[in-house]
């Protein structure tokens, strides 16, 4: 079952906090209406909620990184060097943020940055 939540907000942190509240309430409702409850211990129930929150956060960060990579690749495909350089700086920043938060491995981040930089530098 997929459930989509659309939040009309220009502030991403506000939208993220609203989605986290929604997710937490959804998990609680799921368990309250007779969903499969595997955890009986309070700490285990908390772990389920925390894991769901972290998974949602990680998914959002990974999605943002992929979007920034696509923007760089689109600029390279269009042979627009200035746009590619601007997009590269934003993409590198997002990749580093994801690396620092532990969403992606440091070697994976370095590889992504290296490949993007190589593509942008190939433009002349």
Query: Of 3.40.190.80, 3.40.50.10320, 3.65.10.10, 1.20.58.110, which CATH number belongs to 12-121?
Result: 1.20.58.110
Encoded tokens for 115? 């490949």
Decide if 23 contacts 52 (C-beta within 8 A). Answer: yes
* pTM strictly above 0.85: no
The pLDDT of residue 63 is 97
Decide if 74 contacts 90 (C-beta within 8 A). Answer: no
Residue 78 DSSP symbol:
T
Torsion on CA atoms 91, 92, 95, 97, rounded to nearest 10: -110
pLDDT tens for the chain, 124 residues: list them. 455 555 555 666 655 665 666 666 665 555 555 566 678 888 988 898 888 889 999 999 999 999 999 999 999 999 999 999 999 999 999 999 999 999 999 999 999 999 999 999 999 7
The pLDDT of residue 38 is 76
């Amino acid at each position: 079952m997929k459930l989509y939540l659309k939040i009309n907000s220009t502030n991403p942190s506000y939208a993220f906090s609203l989605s986290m509240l929604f997710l937490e309430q959804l998990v609680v409702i799921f368990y309250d209406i007779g969903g499969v409850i595997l955890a009986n211990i309070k700490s285990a129930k908390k772990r389920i909620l925390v894991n769901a929150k972290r998974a949602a956060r990680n998914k959002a960060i990974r999605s943002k990184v992929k979007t920034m990579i696509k923007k760089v690749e689109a600029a390279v495909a269009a042979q627009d060097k200035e746009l590619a350089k601007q997009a590269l700086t934003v993409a590198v920043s997002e990749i580093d943020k994801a690396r620092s938060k532990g969403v992606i491995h440091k070697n994976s981040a370095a590889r992504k940055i290296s490949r993007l930089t190589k593509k942008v530098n190939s433009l002349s």
